[in-house]
Structure 1
Amino acid sequence: MQVRDDDWILLRSLLTATLLSTAALLDFYAGNINALADPWRVLHYAAGTLAATAIIAAGLKMLLRQLPLWCILIATGLMVFVFFAYDVDLIQRELKAHLGQLAPFAWTSAALGAGILALATIRRRGAVTVALVLSAAFVAPSLARIATFATRGHPAQAAAGAASAERFALSPNIYWIVLDGYPRQDVLKQDFAFDNSGFIASLRTLDFVVLGKSRSNFPATVNSISSTVSADYTVEGEGDELRALSAQDMQARVRGKNRTVARLRSAGYTYVHFENGYDYLTECASDEPRCVRGNLGLDELDIAILSNTPIVDLIVQHRQSTPFAWGGVDDLTAKLAVIRAMPSPFFLYAHVLAPHPPIRFRSDCSFRPADPDLQRWSPEARPAFIEQLGCINFQTTALLHDIIGTDPDGLIILQSDHGTAFRGQFKKPPNEWTDEDLHERFGALNAMRLPRPCRAMAAEDLTLVDTFPLVESCLSGTAFKPHHPRFFVTPYDDNADFGRAYEYPPERVK
């Protein structure tokens, strides 16, 4: 009977340690479940955390042979739990205010101290039950949210749309290069007092048609890109019931499950997805056979998880040798030989995070220390953003010369997905955006190197949703029928109105 009691206590302590060490990851997944394509990356972190917990517990047992294993398991679980509580706003704010760069070291010491205190004070077996009940109560809300999401059923995967098997009259290789957050020329002039005419002139010299009044249809990457590749607006409903499609649906479209890829594949094209940069959204789909990876390193999802601990702050303090996948245009240039080896004709989607924040490049493309924050549109960073833009212009010009030099007939689309947000747009309710807010965020770079007979199709005010209808009309020789332009503001996933969409009249989006 005593053996059974010991086994039962050990089992409860093991469950307690498991709950304590993964509580932060459960909370993270529950809080971001609508924005994550799948749980696997979070599960990998959970497995790694459990493995680390087991290794620490085993090491402590070897050092402290006189202590029962159940006591060591609870102490280890508590230590990991405290380590993952670093991201609590009050804790970080107070620690950094008083200790500065010592804050992550202090919190690591606090986590170790919590484990040592537990080892020194926990002696009664009844503590196991108390710890289990408390840890279960802590994770219960997260588990309830996850269960509710699971019982709703998963949204249907994005429909690729009907695809005719007809070949095009023309079949050049297609390069779709997205420079994230690159502003339109007039926005740069008005909001930044920056003359970008030199770069625009270099594009025209390379036979690009530059659309000087082009606009994005959405102000956020997932909505904008999914809409562009779907050749349709990724919203449903009307009026107060107007909503964006689910994040999972839009992510699937961004990662290749979309109408444009289906149509091009049916016409004999190979789809090539270039994965580059810190943005988790633009990574390759897990089943994508033609995935070309650029700069490898920690991305947005990694940072979001690791920010629960002092690890990111410890890395940032030594960021000159950063492991972050910052993503520059030259990462794509370095992979052109790999892309050229793909079966032709191919359709390349290459989404480069630059010049979007973090502001991590100087004008000469040397590395600028930067915190890994995709939403840091600080007004005081405008001069640094322009410096970074100088680097991006230089790298992009070199990239385009390389592509055209080896593939002179290639069809090249150079776009941004949206403009900048230095006016603090996403700190305001969508119905309070001014005309200046809309102009800055929706004014998008749009330049196309098309076969000569098609260049007249590219109207100066073309919106991004008509990108691939124009390309298909060009290649097939059919009439191009642009959409009636529509423009939507969609709150970020940390906003209470996430999922809703607010439509602005076209006359307000210049």
Structure 2
Amino acid sequence: MPLAGGAVALVVTLTLWLSNMSRVPYEDALPTVGAVLALVGLAVLALRLVAGGWARAGLMSGVAAVYILYLPVAVFAVSPSAWMRGGLLLMGGVAAVLAARRIPREAPGVLAVNRKINLILVPIVIGIAGVVLLRQIDLERHRPAPDQAFAAFDGEASATSPDVWHLIFDRYGNNATLGGAYGYDNSAFLSALRKRGFAVNEEAFSNYQRTGHSVASTLNASYLDRLSSSAQAADWVPIYRSLTSSQALRFFERQGYETVFAGSWWNPTRRSGLADRNINYRAVPELGRLVLGQSAIGFALAQTGLAYGDGRGDQCRRATYKFEQLRELADEGSRKYVFAHFLVPHPPFVLNADGSCRSLAKATASSRRDNYVAQIEYANREALRLIDAILAGPRPAVIVLHSDEGPWPEPFVGDERFLGRDPVAVDWAGLNARQLAEKMGILMAIRHVDGAPAPAPASPINVYPQIINAYFSGKGVEPAPRHYVFESDAALYRFKDVTRELN
């Protein structure tokens, strides 16, 4: 049986999943595992044409899998230079071809080698798979289901109930932060919102300091205490599932609305299995991104700037694509609930103010302030274009525009030029009042259907109670706005109340 290639690929994929299991749920991991095995199967079929037999094709696929999935890890570890890495991988490729050519062609010889390789690799795969299964079972025992952890929204749509557009611009600071930390006056944008009928809360703070906690609490109109009673301390998955399977999505599904989920490259908002429609651009599941990123194929795609290899370019084009798609959606006459999460002005800094892509060289040469402000100005312009398209559309709509967290304060900043390298370990409970205000001060604005003046939500957790009560016959009580920080990535559910410090 031609198992070598699949066995090597499974060892790599399952090992990566095992080390990231607290962030990658099985519903996202298993499709990647299946896709990897399918690609290996196609490779075996192709190699069969030149190998002369299935056993030899399997061994050749094993050599190819070792080269593609294992050699780059060693090469990247010893060399920081792209040119040297390319040269070493080229030499490794030649060695792999020579090794494949030395595989015996005669049936007795190739079958003997294949049998030995299978007897080595298959038990390893079974062992790793067993560890993965046991770990997954243990984690799932402590993971509450989102529909059980949070109460369903109490309300019902009527013939006059409007569309709801919920737009989140990640790490968009409030006016005090933009002026104090970045020397940028955002008053023109806030005035443009008010002219369009928005109520703006210039003193709003996020309910939690990071996106996962903040958006999960917003979309479920609840604080996260219910998760803390059962979830393991460092397990992000209950929070992530609360994002993609939120009570907000469930409510509008029950009301017969078309639900639209416009996500980012970040796995928790990449897509929702509950939504009727997902809008995204070249978004790869987290485990697939990890496998591709450490492979020779990923290296080649990155060096050539081809699709799925240029993370910065894809991130730039993703923002533009989503705005275009949402403007087109605004012209549709069906009832709709739209949730859109934009990783703008969130790093990496890939956009110029005019919407063109910001090169790595320019982002590196520019100050953090200039990089961030360029994306603020891009977000402002595109947000107003989208808002105008919604207001010109055929359906009445409530539009919510806010941020889930503010920018990270100095000195708690990683590398903001590349995807996923900006977070660093922080003692969140030890931040001073100024740092807390910068991290949790956010944009918060809402436009009701008639554009009449009305108070903006006090904090993100109040968004849906306000909308359900106003337009869907809800009678719920809005939660009192409180503000928390979780202590660290090792204590995701141990919270410190920082409401007094912020106020």
* Residue range with higher mean Cα deviation, 15-24 or 124-133: 124-133
Residue 85 of structure 1: how far off its partner (Å)? 2.3
Q: Retained in 2: the 8 A contact 1:489–1:501?
A: yes
User: How does 1:91-170 map onto structure 2 within 5 Å?
Assistant: 91-97=75-81, 100-104=82-86, 106-114=88-96, 116-117=98-99, 119-120=101-102, 128=114, 131-132=117-118, 134-136=120-122, 139=125, 142-152=128-138, 153=140, 155-159=143-147, 161-164=151-154, 166-167=156-157
Measure the CA separation in 1 of the matches of 2:285 and 2:371: 22
Runs of 4+ in 1 over 6 A off after TM superposition: 121-126, 241-245, 376-379
In structure 2, distance between residues paired with 1:498 and 1:106: 41
Say if 2:65 is the partner of 1:80: yes
Query: What RMSD over aligned residues (CA atoms) do the two structures have, in Å?
Result: 3.7
Kindly indicate whether the alpha-carbon contact (under 8 Å) linking 1:76 and 1:115 is maintained by their aligned counterparts in 2. Answer: no
Q: Check whether the contact 1:105–1:310 (CA below 8 A) recurs between aligned residues.
A: no
Shift of 1:380: 5.1
User: Which secondary structure state, in structure 1, belongs to the residue aligned with residue 80 of structure 2?
Assistant: helix
Q: Is the 8 A contact 1:278 1:324 kept in 2?
A: no
Task: List aligned pairs for 1:31-110, cutoff 5 A.
Answer: 31-37=19-25, 38=27, 39-55=29-45, 57-62=47-52, 70=55, 73-85=58-70, 88=73, 91-97=75-81, 100-104=82-86, 106-110=88-92
Could you tell me which of 239, 242, 249 is aligned with 1:250?
239
CA shift, 1:286, in A, is: 3.3
Letter in 2 for 1:506: T
Paired amino acid for 1:254? L
- Give the corresponding residue for 2:304: 318
**1:402 corresponds to 2:395:** no
Q: For residue 413 of structure 1, report the CA deviation from its aligned partner.
A: 0.2
Matches within 5 A, 1:165-244: 166-167=156-157, 171-236=161-226
Q: How does 1:466-505 map to 2 (within 5 A)?
A: 466-475=462-471, 476=473, 481-489=478-486, 491=488, 497=490, 499-505=492-498
Contact 1:24 1:308 (C-alpha < 8 Å) held by counterparts: no
Secondary structure of the corresponding residue to residue 102 of structure 2:
helix
> Is 331-340 or 132-141 further displaced after alignment?
132-141
* Contiguous gaps of at least 5 residues in structure 1: 1-10, 63-67
Between 376-385 and 221-230, report the one with greater CA deviation. Answer: 376-385
Q: 2:272 aligns to what SS in structure 1?
A: coil
Distance change in 2, residues 1:358/1:84 (3 Å): same
Deviations 1:352-390 (A, max 9, x none): 22222222111211112459xxxx999954422221222
Q: CA deviation at 1:313?
A: 3.3
Task: State which drifts further: 290-299 or 199-208.
Answer: 290-299
User: Cα distance, 1:128 vs. partner?
Assistant: 4.8
Which amino acid in 1 is paired with 2:185? D
Matched residues in 1 for 2:364 and 2:264: separation? 18
Separation (CA, whole Å) in 1 of partners of 2:136 and 2:306: 42
User: Are the counterparts in 1 of residues 40 and 61 from structure 2 also a CA contact under 8 Å?
Assistant: no
CA distance in 2, matches of 1:506, 1:443: 12
Q: Residue 178 of structure 1: SS of its match in structure 2?
A: strand
Q: How far did residue 95 of structure 1 move? A: 2.4
3-state secondary structure, aligned to 1:324 = helix
**Once the 2 structures are TM-superposed, how far is the Cα of residue 127 of structure 1 from its aligned partner?**
5.2
2:391 counterpart letter in structure 1: I
Contact 1:18 1:77 in 2 (8 A): yes
CA shift for structure 1 position 272: 1.9
Q: CA deviation at 1:270?
A: 0.7
Maintained 8 Å contact 2:5/2:61: yes
Length-normalised TM-score, structure 1:
0.80
Distance 1:45 1:69, change over 3 A: closer
SS of equivalent to 2:400? strand
Closer/same/farther in 2, CA of residues 379 and 332 from structure 1, 3 Å limit: closer
1:383 aligns with 2:395: no
In structure 2, do the counterparts of structure 1 residues 509 and 117 end up closer, same or farther at CA, with 3 Å as the change threshold?
A: farther
Distance of 2:258 and 2:216 partners within structure 1:
16
Question: CA 1:136–1:317 in structure 2 vs 1: closer, same or farther (change >3 Å)?
Answer: same
Are the equivalent residues in 2 in contact too, given 1:430–1:502 (CA < 8 A)? no
Question: Which whole-Å CA distance do the structure 1 matches of 2:469 and 2:83 have between them?
Answer: 57
Once structures 1 and 2 are overlaid, which stretch shifts more, 128-137 or 298-307? 128-137
Alignment match, 2:327: 336
Shift in Å, 1:232: 0.6
In structure 1, what is the Cα distance between the partners aligned to 2:48 and 2:432?
59
1:309 corresponds, among 275, 291, 295, to 295
Match of 1:357 among 334, 347, 363: 347
Q: Alpha-carbon deviation of 1:485?
A: 0.4
SS at match of 1:444: coil
Taking the aligned partners of 1:234 and 1:165, their CA distance within structure 2 comes to 22
**Cα distance between partner residues in 1 of 2:79 and 2:455:** 58
| Corresponding residue number in structure 2 for 1:8 | none
Secondary structure of the residue that 1:481 maps to in structure 2?
A: coil
Q: Distance in 2 between matches of 1:92 and 1:208?
A: 50
Q: Identify the residue that residue 4 of structure 1 maps to in structure 2.
A: none
SS in structure 2 at match of 1:363: coil
Question: Secondary structure of 1:96's partner?
Answer: coil
Q: Look up the equivalent residue of 2:384 and give its one-letter code.
A: T
Aligned residues: 475
CA contact (8 A) 1:216 1:443 kept: yes
Deviation for aligned residue 1:105: 5.3
2:240 aligned partner, one-letter code: Q
- CA displacement at 1:112 relative to structure 2: 4.6
Letter in 1 for 2:7: L
1:256-275 residue pairs with structure 2 within 5 A? 257-266=245-254, 268=255, 270-275=257-262
Q: Which secondary structure does the structure 1 equivalent of 2:314 belong to?
A: coil
Letter in 2 for 1:389: I
In the alignment, the residues of structure 2 paired with residue 352 and residue 16 of structure 1 have an alpha-carbon distance, to the nearest angstrom, of 42
Residue in 1 aligned with 2:8?
20
Q: 1:417 to 1:342 in 2, by over 3 A?
A: farther
2:95 partner letter:
G
Which of 418, 425, 438 is matched with 2:436 structurally? 438
Deviation at 1:414, TM superposition (A): 0.4
Distance 1:470 1:284, change over 3 A: same
Q: Is the 8 A contact 1:270 1:347 kept in 2?
A: yes
